Structure 1
Amino acid sequence: MKQYKVRDHAVERAIERFGWKRTGADNRLIQLMQQAAYQGETNSRAGQAKVFDNVSKRIRLIVKDNEIVTVYAMPSVLDTVPKEILDAIRKKAATLSRKYTKELRQVVRQLAITNVAIAEKELAKLRVNNPKTKAFIDAKLTELTDMRDKLTARQSELTEQLAELAKHQ
């Protein structure tokens, strides 16, 4: 584990940019540095410095001679995308969300109808005594339970797709 020193400037920037408390900020920066990935070098007023990114915390650290000089919030990928494209993505996501929600309501409705039909067939099976009629009802019950399983699977798929779309809206 490599040892790093932290300049006061880096602590001040961390407090200012990330809202951290002064106590423990230097240790926190050292911890972030241990998990950071090397990105390259940059020229600054003080000369050559190395750039490290901690992707999980979205923090960029500038290091010179094993000393953390300053810290920044990593630039967002969305900052480079034109506003028109982001609006188009949001619009498409909203359209897909409406479509999936509508289909989900239909699937839930069909699932409820299928469950009622299964209950009716179970009740009809209890009422009859003829083995041929019971076999016929069993065949229908098998058909209905297969349909219910398919509808339940589709309901799960749609719920997952809606959750994924919710991230983009």
Structure 2
Amino acid sequence: MKKYGVTKHAVDRAVERLGYDRGSAVGCINNLMQTAHYIGDANDHNGKTSRIFDHIKSRVRLVVIDNKVVTVYKMHEGLAPIDATPSINPNPINGLPDELKTVIKRKSGAIIVRHKRELRSLTIQLAEKNLEIAQLELNRAKARAHKIIAVIDAKITVARSEYASINEKATTIKSEIESIEKGVAAYV
């Protein structure tokens, strides 16, 4: 179980916003972090990058900088109205109509399929680029003339930059797929 540092500010906000007891706030925040979902990164006004985590079940958002929870707050409420009796409807997201859940599943599924096709195409391009780089490196190893070695080195540099560009696109698509799946999991 990974332990996160918890700042005094986060403890103060947990007491104020979430109603936790001051003595148990650090433990409660660490428990929330164990099952929280990573949402993304955000930059604050000082230029520091913070990581945003959502604990869907309790509707709590946690902001982490350098493995320290710096603040916590309640997430905005879901689309469905909240019943006054939590035993009937403990999670407002479950109150979405079945038709809406079906539409969300269908549309997100179509988007994910489209992204996976593009990812498969990019994976093939990466493999072909790797093959091209390997062939160029083989040619470079066989070459003896300095001019030819210089030309091959230039081609290898270009091929590696193209590989990095394709790999960046593939990584972006993978993260988009993950974020779509996490977003849908919150509502369906």
TM-score (norm 2): 0.50
User: Hey, what does 2:157 align to over in structure 1?
Assistant: 142
Name the residue aligned to 1:159: 174
Q: Tell me what 2:129 maps to.
A: 114
The answer as to 2:58 corresponding to 1:58 is yes
Moved over 4 A (4+): none
Q: Which runs of 5+ in 2 are unaligned?
A: 1-14, 20-54, 60-84
Q: Report whether the alignment pairs 1:123 with 2:149.
A: no
Letter in 2 for 1:106: S
Tell me how far 1:86 sits from its aligned partner.
Answer: 2.2
Question: Is 1:81 aligned with 2:91?
Answer: no
Letter in 2 for 1:119: A
**1:3-39 Cα deviation digits (max 9, x unpaired):** xxxxxxxxxxxxxxxxxxxxxxxxxxxxxxx78736x
> Gaps spanning 5+ residues in structure 1: where?
1-33, 39-54, 60-69
Shift of 1:155: 1.8
RMSD: 3.0
* Structure with max Cα Rg: 1
Quick one: which amino acid aligns to residue 18 of structure 2? A
CA distance in 2 between counterparts of 1:155 and 1:146 reads: 14
Q: Secondary structure at the match of 1:156?
A: helix
The equivalent position to 1:104 in structure 2, one of 110, 119, 126, is 119
Distance 1:56 1:94, change over 3 A: closer
Give the aligned partner of residue 106 of structure 2: 91
User: Aligned pair count?
Assistant: 111
Identity of aligned residues (%): 24
Question: Structure 1 residues 96 and 71 mapped into 2: Cα distance closer, same or farther (>3 Å)?
Answer: closer
